[in-house]
Structure 1
Amino acid sequence: MITNIGRHFDLRMWVCVSEDFNANRLFGLMLESLKGPMPKVEGREVWVKRLKELLDGRKYLLVLDDVWETGLEQWNDFLESLNGISQAMGSWILVTTRSLEVAFIMGISSRPWFLKRLSDDQCWLILKENAFGTGEVPNGLRHVGYKIAQSCRGLPLVANILGGRLRNKGADEWRILKSELQSLGGGEYIEVVEILKLSFDRLLYPSLKKCLAYCSIFPKDFQMERNQLIQLWAAEGFLHSIPRDRMQMEEIGNKYFTILLDSNLFQDGEKDDYGNVLNCRMNGLVYDMVQFISKSKTRSLKNSTEADFLDQTFRYLAVERSGGEAIQFPLNESFRYITTLFLLENKSINIDGWISSLTSLRVLNLASSDVEELPESINKLSHLRYLDSSDTPIKTLPVSLCQLINLQTLRVRDCKSLTNFPNNFMNLVNLRHFDFFSRDKSSDIMPLEIGQLYALQTLPFFNIGEDAGRQIGQLRSLDNLSGSFEIRNLELVRSKKEAKSANLIEKSNINELKLLWNELDNLRENDSEYNQVLEGLHPHQNLKGLIIERFFGDQLSTWIGELKKLVKFELRNCRNCKELPTVGHMPFLKYLHLEGLDNITTIGPSFYGESIMHSRSKLFPALEHLILENMLNLREWGKALDHDGAVEVFPVLNTMRIKKCPQIATFHKSFSMSRELAH
């Protein structure tokens, strides 16, 4: 069925509509679904024009999922703008809804199709797979499990969640769940929500329940970023360290996130190249359950008139996007206890004069709002642990910000107008996550003396500078750095000793390392100086991704071949390198990208690593994706030595692209069938 749909439609888009049927929003989500570049200017006219460029002349399938809007005016407004986007005949719009009224209103071209519930047998298969994977079901649990499957009411979501809850649980847990399900009563919808709440009630830790309930602060179907979510949980004090286990807050947060994902309370986890889950969503019914649980603590605000009616105490406040005049907070008693305030994408709000009155605030999220500056009085928020002003027109941070000694997370991503950081930035001694990544890699702003922030775990990049306080030695003491880390301006490093001062070899939590040099008008005469710098940048053996760009030396370091856990290796525009590193023996290498290596004329035995092979071994045993690009002088791709057929090369390769390699004439025997396969 899926294959037939793929053949019929050139493009497919899936948009979760939920309760916000706003045409402007839907067109933006359609562009996101196509994963094309978003226009810099927002607005319906710009978005519709971009969609026309992508869709014109092509048949498309648009799925509008979970629609609740019953107003014909909004529906017609959307269709009117959609008409004419593509002249091709045969495009379809598929609407899913839980509302019978919506089904009949939107059933313009065809009658509604009512999905049937799954059978008990099908629910049992889903539950069993979530609980045991491909393993066998113990005989004593098969009958109990089928009884639980009968309580799923034919809903795959419930079967998924109950199966996740029972994973790695003993027979007693299975019998307890069966009894709890049999004791439920009430209407059909209430019963489903109550079944979901059973999974909430049975979560192992009280703090884990708080973490899940906190997710009610997000809009429905919001894509939650894993790291951000864990940082928010930590800011609210949900992730207490466990001394006996020596677990840090982030480790506990990752453990909790994994439990919720494995339990299917979180879903649609998107992974990076290393298998790490980046983000997730909550199913609509799970979200409704979380909203119900958190209704006494969480409030959502759409306009200023609503603010006047918030007369009960609460903890978490989300101010939704408003297009009218600025929302004025009454600052009555109900606001005194707010610990989390979200002003996401709010275009008409002024925080001066009242923000410092929220003295219990632990989380302040201003991302994508039009806030231009933070008030000097922000230092009064002594409990603040999380501050996000990403994607705002903010130009500078107040000096008083650096008095927030409890601040754990500071996010200023994509703040294009930001010109500098306060000179006393190093006073933020408890800062653990500093995320100020910019797509503009020429940006040279960098806080002074960042090496004094010993607790730092998140630092997306470091711009080396010549001034004191910005040299590579600042990285020496930052041994807790984790995730992806990028070092820029390496042309300013002049010796192996200076490079070693970064102490990369002790940074065991860095997942991916990018080493970047800038193009120079006048290269140094001695290539060995560049080679020695790279030698001094020796990373920890735990590294899974290595990207090297514009390295000026002629010889790559031998430590590259010693990174046994590498999953991804990219070598770009290193034009003086005379020989490729030995990577054929790496057991986990899946992605290999070689580009702009002007001095490479031959790919030979040293690349495969045959001198360290064992008999009857495999070369590149895990490599799935191979790219060779702009290798202008590459003439020969030699084969691996035969060894009487005992060696298998590229056994799992499924994608190879060779581009702008005009002189290559000899291919490895595995690719001699057709150069067209390498596209």
Structure 2
Amino acid sequence: MADAVIGAAVEVALSKAISILEDQINLAWYFKDDLNKLRSSLALTRAFLQDAERRQLVEPVKLWLEQLNDIACKADDVLDELAYEHLRRKVDGQMSKKATELGLQQRVQVSAPVSRGVGGGTHSLVDSSRVVGREADVRKVVDLLIGSTTHQTLSIASIVGMGGLGKTTLAKSICNNGKVHNHFKTIIWVCVAENFDVRRILVEMLESLTRKPCEIKNEDAVIREIQKELREKNFLLVLDDVWDEDIKNWEDLKSSLRGIIESKQSWILATSRSESVALVRETPPDHRHHLNGVEDEECWSIIKERAFGNSPLSPDLEAIGRDIARRCGGVPLVATIIGGTLCNKWDRDEWQQQNMFDGVKLWHSLFLNSGSSFHMVTDFKGLRVLKLVGIVRESLSDSVGKLKHLRYFDISKTHIERLPKSITRLYLLETLRLLGCLRLEQLPGGTKSLVNLRHLYINNGRHVPMEIGCLTNLQTLPLFKVGTERGRGIGELGFLVELGGELEILCLENVRDKEEARGARLWEKKKLHKLRYRWGFWRQGCRKDEEVLEGLEPHSNLKSLTIDYYKGECYPPWLVRKASGDPSACFQPMNLVELKLFRCENVQNLPPLGQYPNLRFLEIEGLKSVRCIGKEFYMNGCDENKPLILFPALEVFTLKKMRELKEWLDVEPAIPVFPSLKVLEINFCDDLNSVPRMSRFSSLEELTVFYCSKLGWMGDEPFSSRLKRLIIKCCTNLRSVPTLDGLSSLLELELCGCEGLTSLPSGLSTCTSLRRLLIDYCINLESVPKDVGQLHSLEELCIVFCGSLKRLLEESLGCLTRLKRLRLGPFSKEVEEFPGLGSIHHLHSSLKELTLSSFGWDKPFSLPFQLQHLTALERLDILEFDGLKALPEWLGNLSSLRILCLEGCGNLVDLPSREALQRLSNLHLFRIYRCPRLEENNRELSKVPCTVNFDYF
């Protein structure tokens, strides 16, 4: 049966052909009929393959389908080569353009032939010194420029034609023409491309004239400088590769040029693909030169020169070459690329080699583990996906740059210390993953050349590429570290218009002011859903944190925001804006779901968040200057026409490390607040002494309060009936807890370090679903009520370090028939025997773990005989019993026991007999720690069976 992958491969290859020809390289004009045939063939191929998959095929048909798949894969690689070459040329053009800013290239002037100005879009690959078949075109445009009788001081001419026909090359040849040099005193070349920015064009004009980078920021000053350079000169201004159709931009440029031009006649020569471009529309019809395709013979000449130079060809190869030339549609670009592909291939058999290594060159995905040989990677020329797993190499070979087709490259969690420079030639790369590369240093210079990169996964600030703003297709960037050097400023983010998902911006202390922060243009990035703003931890002073944060205003689509180590005294207007605020403002809080404010040490008041309609998660930590949570936290004005509900969607609220916070105030009882809150955590708020009434949290399911030592009262009103988890730890001043009456949904109750409690909360017996009850370090607790025996769902009970406790459960313990884990003691030293164990034998079928402890209790003690009935017991810990001298013989009855631990039993002398210990057939570990008298009695220790792991300290 035919493989469905074959159909997919054919479809991908044909679809890519159409896409590349129509969109990427814009060559579809002469191939319209062929494309329509391709579409029809694609539909027929799909239908055939779908039918083939349902049939039992004979071997010849299977073989044919496999060959079809190979052809599709090879076609896919050829089309990739075409796309790669297109991007390479585009990158080369951009690099040429950038070189001026770095002082590495001077723009063309009077005495210099225009041979290095290159277009920003798709441009001809034909050598500018030889314009194949274009001599007539050159003469026609030259005659127009120097022979026109127009009386205008600034005239416009244009060269129009589809991409790949050689418009830029033709313009270069015109500028290099001797007649043009003699006529114009100055020739200026500016590559416009997609971005028709008037100020940029003027700046590049000035740089071309002065041969040095322009430091002037004021546009009028730039115009004045250009005027000085062009005084009493006529000039030719070439605007190459113009795309913009907005007539207003062209009018702005004309207005600026009027201040430059004097009486002498000058010209603008524009190249463009479209008649709709504003500059072309402004050109008189007789000044427009339409560029057509070259003859088939010229295409063959280009192919032959690129592929074979002056070498003679066999008749077979020439016949094939001429047939290919006819299919080029008169487009020099296609002929040049094909010629380069055929370079030095003299034998037909060479086309059979994109089958070596049993077909590995057709493989598209490769996953290597730590035991693989990396040097073989370059044999897989057609790879689209390369993932290195656990590679321990410190570097990669330069040969990785030969993987032209690579789309996905993952070296996460490897030991690689550097990436080769050649990686910057992977122009088709879409995804690069560098997560957890702890040893990897900075990325190589030139990473900005990866113009097709869409997803860069990094979690280390060192791995942010220099001039990342050049990667304009980037959609995923988890991390950006702001630097002070050129190419690392926050303005680089402004160019990444497709950026989405989540982004963390580090080292915001390196942003100088609001205007520089606005250069990131975050308010335009509607695909960004999660942002984290982070300043440096160790820096001194706040510099301009407030205005920087104001300039970082995000788009209203933002769902999650974290602000970390901000040192301003107040939050920006866009964060404190109420939901019904200024509709013209960029950021509206209606979509914000999560907000985290961390370590903003100078802020004295929380922002008003109560009217954020969709805020579900709020975490506030380390705002050490906030002393009161008051009315400002709940609202910023109100709309009288709408019913007011505060924090309508909030589900999780965490207050943490608010060291100076003294009170958290409530609002008027008539105003609903926190109707959806499920989880409330208040941790490490040492000075907090008041919180809202617990009844205000009507949907609360989990309440956790840690280390709030001055919190003495939580109100008399009951908790929410939905409460499932209540944990209060180290609240040493807490004297009472609201009643638990009616909390049938409560699953866990933990009271730890509450020294002020003398009794447990009332209503405990109604918590019929309670599974876990922990009472720990409540040193003034005097009793545990008998109704604990009604907690029939209880699985874990822990009552430890309650030094005032004298009465414990009595016979109630035996009623807890689902109890699996039990920890008891130490208790008051006044009791004569260990309390609460009289009915423990009723737990014989449920209890798995038992710990008994009594620090400093030196009264004579023996294990209660009821313990011998705990036949399900798997672990027994006896801790700190100085009064225990011997373990009983019946210990051998605990047939399920796996772990036995004795610790701090200073007077323990005797173990059970060897026979009793041998009956513990499931015993796996026997641990004895700080039992000195047993150490003296080696005979007793020798009783431990050799089959048991025996630890003795």
TM-score normalised to structure 2 length: 0.36
TM-score normalised to structure 1 length: 0.49
Compare CA radii of gyration and give the structure with the larger one.
2
Structure with the greater relative contact order (CA < 8 A, sep ≥ 6): 1 or 2? 1
